[in-house]
Amino acid sequence: MNEIPPMLENTIQYQLSRKECIGQVIRLLFRPSLIFTLGGVFLFGVLMIIFAHSGDWPAVAWIFVVSPVLMLFFLSRNARKIVDEHPELLEPQTVTFDAAGVTITNSVSRVQWPWQRVLSVKEKAGFIVLRCSSLGAGGFIPARAFAPGQRERFLSLAQARSGSGTPG
């Protein structure tokens, strides 16, 4: 089976700094539902401390307060570890996209996502973030990597064909 080469106008190349890469891995790990849940647990612990009268409840309440903070710390630390253990994330990346989906390639891997597997596409902090699972799988493309007109074409395809039906 012969693969049709992607059109050059649908090819993007970029390279991220370590700081940018860590920031985007953290963005993929810290989903809104996770932040909402951790915030709720923290708030519940604070309310337990405020309204606790006696007994063992204050100790339990402090567990509710401290555990979300520790989880955020360790997830952030793990994001740094992921980047350190995968130097290919800091190498030049090539993104191609067409009506079928999006592909991200570097020196050691090639990841293909059909648009139906893309749950959301959001523009945040100078990046286009692809979320392909609720567990944090996805990719990120710096907005600066797009040539004039490419970003609009990419977002148009994502909106028309992604599993969610809308970018963001």
**Paired tokens of 122:** 């959001």
Exposed (0-12), middle (13-18) or buried (19+): which is 151, by Cβ within 10 Å?
A: middle
Topology (CATH level 3) of domain 91-161: PH-domain like (2.30.29)
H or E, element range at 111: strand 110-114
What is the per-residue pLDDT for 58? Answer: 78
Q: Per-residue pLDDT tens for 23-76?
A: 888 887 877 788 899 999 999 999 888 887 666 677 888 899 999 999 989 988
Is pTM beyond 0.85? Reply is no
Tens of pLDDT, residue by residue over 116-159, are 888 888 888 889 888 886 566 788 899 999 988 899 989 888 88
83, 21 contact by CB (below 8 A) = yes
Q: What is the pLDDT of residue 124?
A: 83
Alpha carbon 24 to chain centroid, angstroms: 6
For residue 48, the one-letter residue type is: M
**Two structure tokens written together for 116:** 């139906």
Alpha helices per DSSP H over 57-126: 57-85
